[in-house]
Amino acid sequence: AKQLFKKELDWMRRQPKARTTKSKSRIEDFHEIKDRASKRRNDHQVQLEINMERMGNKIVEMHNISKSFEDKQLLNKFSYNFQPGDRLGIIGKNGTGKSTFLNILTGNIEPDSGKVVIGETVKFGYYTQRGIEVKEGQKVIDVIREFGD
């Protein structure tokens, strides 16, 4: 249908000079095709949900965080105050404490010492290195909501 519409649109733009019965009929057919094409475009439905919540100024404050496993010190009196819009990149070799740091940051594990203060409106959404399990027929937005709520 798209190809036919393009072909007829090109023909209409050339504005055929001879207005024979055949060309008049073709013009009427063009308008019918055009109406059907625009109607088909308008028939699609999109479901969009936007739930906005105000983000406070306090995101996460980390005060003198220390964490060890057996004799391995992963964090030693680490402090940082995360601000709205901050971006965080964590790099390092295996076993250096990247996941541990994120688990402390999100409140999933407690530090050995120090304090983590998480803002009231902060919601963490992330994917672990173990991946995610998607249920059969589940929408992407619903999978994401599980992590964001």
Of 47-51, 55-59, 61-65, 74-78, give the lowest mean pLDDT range.
Answer: 47-51
Distance separating the N- and C-terminal Cα atoms of the chain: 44
**Residue 122 vs residue 81, higher pLDDT:** 81
Task: Output the average pLDDT for the chain.
Answer: 80
In this structure, what is the dihedral angle of CA atoms 61, 64, 65, 69, given to the nearest 10 degrees?
Answer: 180
What pLDDT shows up at residue 43?
Answer: 56
**Could you tell me if 70 and 141 lie in one domain?**
yes
What pLDDT shows up at residue 149?
Answer: 53
Give the domain CATH number at 133. Answer: 3.40.50.300
Q: State the residue range of the domain holding 35.
A: 2-42
**Could you tell me if 24 and 72 lie in one domain?**
no
**Could you tell me if 140 and 71 lie in one domain?**
yes
Residue 109 placed within a domain: yes
Residue 50 placed within a domain: no
Residue 119 placed within a domain: yes
What pLDDT shows up at residue 101?
Answer: 93
**Short-list 75, 89, 80, CA closest to 59:** 80
| Segment 89-103, tens digit of pLDDT | 889 998 889 999 999
**Short-list 109, 92, 88, CA closest to 100:** 109
Q: Tally the domains of the chain.
A: 2
What pLDDT shows up at residue 62?
Answer: 95
What pLDDT shows up at residue 113?
Answer: 97
